[in-house]
Structure 1
Amino acid sequence: MARTAEKAESLASESQSMADALERVLAVADDKGTVQWSDVSDDITSGEWGRLIEQGILVDVDGEGFVVDDPEGVRDALGISAPEPGDDAGGSSSSGTSDSTSTSSSADSDDEDSGWSRWDKMAAVATIALFLGYSQAPIRNTVGGVLDIALDPLADVLPFYIMILVLAVFTGLNSTILQGKLMNMDKMGEYQEQMQEIQERRKAAKERGDDEALEEIQQEQMEAMGDQLGMFKEQFRPMVWIMLVNIPVFLWIYYMVQTGAMVAGEPPVMVLPIIGGIESWSDRIGPMWAWIIWYFVCSMSFTQIVRKALNVQTTPSSS
């Protein structure tokens, strides 16, 4: 029993989230007698749940749930007092209300952090509509014509290849800023650490031949699939807003080339390294048009420069 208290104290000292996890499972066990993953899945991560089982804080009782091995020792480690006798019903009611409110607030917070708001969904619909502009001339001409009102004065002054370069820098800056603002790298890092921890515990259990632990870890992996979906949503959400801005710019360039609205000048319109002179922006170099290749070269190059200059991280750091 004393060893359970020591383990609880060690876990609580690791991080505040582990201390909260201990307190949460203890509260549910006091209220219901046993605690199951479904009782606490909204409040703690599957990684924290697995640690509590692995350290022996939670003990399986014939498949009916888990009990806290040494409740008094865990309370001492957390510095909390035992519930007063007679408070179970009232305490359970108020606790249930409090837990419900807490869970609701947590769900609302998750929706804001990793869920898609109404504006995100509207942006996704608009992006899909803009995608159709690549194959539907009326949409492309409409978007290109509207943007041409703002971009035509600049296009009259600058050579077309410089115009493409300027727009590539703009779209690269836009992508970098939106990724930095909308992508939660801390949350994505937590997802990766959680999955890595489960994999490490699975490997250790496999090496020592612990079939029971392997079954529990496999169940955790299935439950963690929701976290994987959350990570995917974190990655894809900024892409919707990036494309909402970048696709119209791309369609304007397409519109200018297809309609011949831009002045190409005497051939060659540009000389590309290795490829050589380009007679027209609509010339094909392999499967792609020349203007697409020039746009992507400019965009990829300047996007990397902008990311370095603004110190924007686009991948979660591993701890």
Structure 2
Amino acid sequence: MDPFSPPPFSILLFLSVAGDTLWGGHFYRFHPVVAMGMTGRILERLFLRQDASGLVQRWKGVLLVLGVVLPFSCATALLLVMLDRAGLGWMAGALTVFWGYQLLAGRSLETHVSNVLEYLEKDDLAGARQSLSRIVSRDTDRLECSGVIRGAIESLSENTNDALVAPLFYFALGGIPLLMAYKAVSTLDSQVGYKTPPYRDLGWASARLDDLLAFLPARLSLLLLLLLFGYSASKKRRTTFKTLFREALSNRLNHPSPNSGHSMSAFAVLLGIRLGGGASYGNRWSEKPWIGFGRESLTIEDLSGALSIFRKFRWSIFIMAGCATAFLSCWRVWGGAV
């Protein structure tokens, strides 16, 4: 066996998950997401025209998506294939692991929300508001303690899918090129995927494609969260797993997004709280349905509990990835195909 040949993809995937679980990706000048954002901003300035018709702007939005997704996805695929054909499969494998754990953002998300908790534990509400403003788009300058906690839990629960489950889903499905494509769409959605001017039409394609790509992973997130933590939560709440499952399913669509409410609903029933209910964006109040049937007034213990669930969820995925890798490796050794 060639010692410089790349290991099976299952091992590369596991090493990427291990990197995110143990260390987490760190943003730097040439980080793929930073480059995607810069490319998106350049094309946005090129395509955004206030006097253009809605239809024209939507077609420009399609070109915006293609102009960011295709270069990163296709260039990555081409580079990995060229390295492999040049006998540098080990380098292609190293890049796969490096980019993989950089684009899985579970540890990064936990760190940002933990910063909010640390400020609250020190009774520094101003610091907590400022820290929260880095991860949410709502107005945070006048939020009370419960509102800060609600915003942090909503960001953590909503992004459980966007930062961890969905990227891992597409990484496993199509390797780094498909993961790059998903992250490019997600980055564009966060930049231009708004229903308000001037992005209503230009961001339409980015928002719809992001909804489509997140559809299956969002429902998988809800299912995994309930299967992993539902039984212990039902005992703590003195109810049944069936009741918790029914509550989560009945609330999962109480969100403007077709996907964001799924993981939020899971967190709400696991913690016994209510999320949603509206927030202020650009000094304008936006009313939203409630998600969950529990308490409206939230405490620091609720945020700590949400972080505990998320931390255990990340480690559970790490363990499941390790078990799957061990199984596939044994299958390979025994003459099967990975």
Same fold? TM cut 0.5: no
User: Which TM-score tier does this pair reach, normalised by the shorter chain?
Assistant: under 0.3
Q: Give the number of the structure whose alpha-carbon radius of gyration is greater.
A: 1
Q: With the length of structure 1 as denominator, give the TM-score of the two structures.
A: 0.24
